[in-house]
Chains A and B, each alone.
Chain A
Amino acid sequence: MHCGYSHGVTANADVERLLPLPPITFHILLSLLDGERHGYAIIQDVGERTGGELQLSAGSLYRSIARMVEQTLIVEVAKRHAPGDDERRRYYKITPFGTAVARAEMRRLAELVRLARKSGLTPETA
């Protein structure tokens, strides 16, 4: 099992093994880059970020979260500090390994876009 907290020396293979990321996983990682969030906040954030394109259901969110916790891309935050917030809520934050995987996925996507451009493809319909 890989270690999610080993900076820099994280085995490249561990990162590569998870690529390409399922889109939902990538969106959840992006959402948590801003800071810790609870489940419903992630749903809202992903919705706003994508302009309403991606409306996660509770089931698909927690199925992804369960898998991402297992993969140590994210961890549950032990206790909540913000005052007035519901104490029973479970918050999640991204791990350094999660950040590394998100970066790698971004590089992969960027490379893909570069290749597409090179082939003369433009997003605009001609």
Chain B
Amino acid sequence: MTRFYRALLRLYPERFREEYGDELCRAFVERTRGRSRLATVAAAIGDVVPNAIAAHWDILRHGSGAGLTWPAFSGDIRYALRQIARAPLLSGVIIAVIAIGIGINAGLLTILDTYVWQPAPGIPRDRSLVRLSATVVEQKGRAHATRLSYPDILDLRARHNAFADVAAWRLTSRDVDMGGGAETMLVSFATSNFFRVLQLPLAAGSGFDDDRDRSSRPIAVISYSHWMTTFGGSPDAIGKTIRVSNQPFTIVGVAPPRFVGIDIRDMDKSMIWLPLGTEEIVEPNAAKDRVDRGAAMFSTFARLAPGVSPAGVARLTSVVAAQLARPRPDNLVRLSIAAEPLTGVAPGDSNRTELVAGFLLIAALIVVITCTNVSALLLGRAAVRRREIGVRLALGATRRRLMRQMLTESLVLAVAGAALALVLYVIVIKVAYANVPELIWGLQAQPSTFAFAGLFALVTTLAFGLAPALHATSADIGDVMKNSGNHAISRSRLQRAFVVVQLACSQPVLVVTSLVLADLRHTANANADQAPASVVTMSARNFRSTPVSDLGEVRRRLAAMPGVRSVGVTTMGYPRPDPRVSTRFGPSTSFDVPGVRGAQRDVHVRQRYVDSGYFATVGVPLLRGRSIGVNDDHEGSVSVVVNDAAAKTFWPGENPIGKLLLRHSSDVEGVEATSLHVIGVVATAAYDADSAATVFAPLSTAASQWESTIALRTSGDARTYVPSIRAAVREADPFVAIDGVITLAEQYAGQQREAVQSNAAAFAVGAAALVLASLGLYAVIAFAVAQRTREIGIRLAMGATRGVVVRQFFRNGIVASAIGLAIGLPLTVAGIRVVQANMLGFTLQHVAAVLVVVPVLVSVAALASWLPARRAGRVDPVIALRTE
């Protein structure tokens, strides 16, 4: 046991160990006499590790505290700093490469961490909190994610062996009046245990009653920011009355600061929480839905029972899942429940997997670029210093000692790079907060994330510094001291090999990076500024119990408002079904032209329903025929208008007016075909960049106007009409909730801003990767050429002309790059294949973006071969011969 302790003592600084090692052993042995072996081992580790760290810290802090010194290592560091200062450009490039690599990675990881891996703001990290997601598998074997119905949730709650408790919520948007006028807010109907399961202490008030959702007492929990802005943070807010859809609710609680709901998707919106039992106050058919297993509209989370892991949930709930499936319609055969950590983005949320995979892929690629560059640069340095190392070896330095020296230099460079990256990281986040706070809402500089990226960089730099260090110290002393010609050749070969490898790696890496980035890119709309400020649009939801009720009264009331010139309504969704066909799960719709059946079946054509006022109101011009008139807008109408993109798809080069179009509405139970009659062709609105093929059918033929868009054209700026629009809708129909009242000008300007911002971010990452690769490539080649100044001198002295020498170097550089690019080509193609297979919407445009990469790499290689060779060629042969 003494030997174990003695071995551990090596952790102490050398001088301390020499001075007190024996005493330490003796005291330790006496101290642990009679203890068990295990206890002694534990005591030894517990004694030495913290004290050794503290002893090293003492030295660092006091220089030579407690009679201890740290001579060897600090000498290494000083020597490393001198070496770095001797080659400032090369060292600068290495530090910059490391800094850019770490910086990008830390940024990407921070974004992922804040938005994807952490719970939404305000929710504590708690492993026993899980989000429950359900998947239904239909008879045909098709699986899709589903929400859960209230009876499902009750069944899950009964599984006490799996869950301590299960809570659920669903979102809807409503007009909420807190005393300062109605405002559209997200209303979260939550089970009464919602805050308790999260274990979120309310900032004020007692919250919902724990009544298992039975009470319909009208109470509400408001957000912390509303409490602050509307009620000045006063405790008197509790007990005040607010109006939701014009119905009175009493405030019983204030959510904790920063809490904005379970999903970060909604974090920029206003939200209030109402108990589930109050649903029918604002939605008449809610009570019916509460007992209907088909009404799967709840998002669900749970606190796991003690000792249950998320992976165990599927097993524990399989019985429930079978029960849940049984009372459902026959076409459902199985339903499975999965649990995963309650993060801010739902697993089923669109793009989550794609986003995470894309980000991680880019992060990994950046690491690869950084590492190849750093390794090549370090090798370049090592190659130059073979002579210096040879001298030190000849003077009696051990290889081990020299290795330590080389690795210390790598470490110093890595630390400098990491420090620079940290500064950049903090500055970028600060600047971003100051300038575009809405873009990075909730994004936090994460010390842990940065520490991870930094540590990773240190480890990789050391690992990649090892090969060059080994290479440098493997020098044969005699060879190096003689500086024989043989060696010069092998060195130039080695460096050329590095250029080849560098290019072979960076090409596929850059190509794949730009592909992934191109996929994240948004199309900017060049005509966005033409969107009129005189048109306002809003989405309207109809909460009446009859599924087909329309917005008739609302529309009439809005049209009668002074200053309103026209009103239009549009909705999407599926056509009103034949009563024989069940449309419970929403049929899919496709179109084709009689006669050319099959040819256009796969073309994606959108379908919208519009009323007679819609085109004129939003400014969609009619190209041919006539628009949908009041007489066309009735149930069973077969008149449709197509846009020019759809016309070109179905009838290229023909006049579509009077043609027939077949619409196939299919669902699990069958296909219904309807013959439609084309009466007109419209263009795309001047401000709209979206030109997807679309068929416009009369509004009355839509299955439901549950969620529609209302557009109003006013005289003058439409923004000034917003309060009266809200009031008119509320008066006309209290069960219609409107949301997102915004003028077209505002809407398109916002979209434009978002597109520009996200494109700028993607471009910045791509440009940084390209700069990173170019920097490394240039440094490696230029360094290799500069190293051959002596050779150039010899050639010039032997009578070669400058032009010939420079041309030869240039040619060599190009040949090496060509070989590298050629070797990398299969990898690039494989990379493109992989991306293509996993990416939707992969187009030739993306490939075009990729083509930028290769010319840039070739130009950099050419420039890097040419400039130093030209410089070397200008040098006087005598001076050139004396270099090294």
Contacts and interface: CB of A to CB of B under 8 A. Distances in A.
Interface string B332-366: 00000000000000000000000000000000000
Interface string A52-71: 00000111111101110110
Contacts of A70: 65-67
Interface string B238-274: 0000000000000000000000000000000000000
A79 to B, nearest CB: 16
B31 A43 contact: yes
A39 interface: yes
Contact of A66 (B20, B46, B47): B20
Contacts of A58: 24-25, 27-28, 31, 47
A65 to B, nearest CB: 7
Interface in B300-325: none
Interface in B9-55: 16, 19-20, 22-28, 30-31, 43, 46-48, 50-52, 54-55
A89 interface: yes
Contacts of A61: 27
A90 interface: yes
Contact of B26 (A57, A60, A69, A89): A89
B291 to A, nearest CB: 59
Contacts of A65: 20
Interface in A38-52: 39-40, 43
A39 B68 contact: no
Contacts of A63: 16, 51, 54-55, 58, 66
A40 B31 contact: yes
A70 B62 CA distance: 12
Contacts of B22: 88
Nearest to A90: B23
Contact of B30 (A40, A69, A90): A40
Pick the most buried of B26, B50, B52, B67: most chain A CB atoms within 10 A of its CB: B26
B615 to A, nearest CB: 83
Nearest to A42: B27
A69 B24 contact: no
Nearest to A61: B27
Pick the most buried of B20, B22, B52: most chain A CB atoms within 10 A of its CB: B20
A28 B65 CA distance: 19
Contacts of B58: 63, 67
B715 to A, nearest CB: 77
Contact of A57 (B30, B51, B66): B51
Contacts of A66: 16, 19-20, 66-68
A67 B20 contact: no
A88 B65 CA distance: 26
A51 B23 CA distance: 25
Given A39-B26, A39-B27, A40-B27, A59 B47 contact: yes
Interface string B387-418: 00000000000000000000000000000000
Contact of B23 (A57, A62, A67): A62
B46 A57 contact: yes
Nearest to B5: A58
A66 B55 CA distance: 10
B65 A62 contact: no
Given A43-B31, A67-B58, A70-B67, A62 B26 contact: no
Pick the most buried of B16, B31, B68: most chain A CB atoms within 10 A of its CB: B31
Contacts of A90: 23
Contacts of B43: 57
Nearest to A71: B66
A48 to B, nearest CB: 14
A68 to B, nearest CB: 9
A63 B62 CA distance: 14
Given A66-B19, A67-B58, A70-B65, A59 B31 contact: no
B577 to A, nearest CB: 78
Contacts of B51: 57, 59-60, 63
17 contacts: A39-B23, A39-B27, A40-B27, A43-B27, A57-B46, A59-B24, A62-B27, A63-B54, A63-B58, A65-B20, A66-B16, A66-B68, A67-B58, A69-B67, A88-B26, A89-B26, A90-B23
Interface of A: 39-40, 43, 57-63, 65-67, 69-70, 88-90
Given A59-B24, A62-B27, A67-B66, 7 more contacts: A39-B23, A57-B51, A58-B24, A58-B27, A58-B28, A61-B27, A63-B55
